[in-house]
A = this chain, B = another copy of it.
Amino acid sequence: MQHAKPLPAYLIQRFHGWRATSYQDNKAWFKRLAERGQHPRAMVISCCDSRVHVTSIFGADEGEFFIHRNVANLVPPYNPDGEYHGTSAAVEYAVRALKVAHVVVLGHSSCGGVKGCHDMCAGLAPELLEKSSFVGRWMDILRPGFERTADVADAEERVKAMEKQAVLISLENLMTFPFVRDAVENDHLTLHGLWTNTGEGELHQFDPAIGSFAAV
Chain A residues within CB distance 8 Å of chain B: 1-41, 43, 48-53, 55-71, 74, 76, 80-94, 97, 99-102, 104, 109-110, 112-113, 131-135, 137-141, 168, 171-172, 175, 183-184, 187-194, 197-203, 205-208, 216
Contact = CB atoms under 8 A, between A and B. Distances in A.
Nearest to A197: B34
A50 B71 contact: no
Number of this chain's copies in the assembly equals: 4
B19 A201 contact: yes
Q: Which of A5, A6, A13, A203 has the most CB of B within 10 A?
A: A5
A84 B138 contact: yes
Q: Which of A48, A60, A112 has the most CB of B within 10 A?
A: A48
Given A29-B102, A53-B62, A190-B28, A48 B1 contact: no
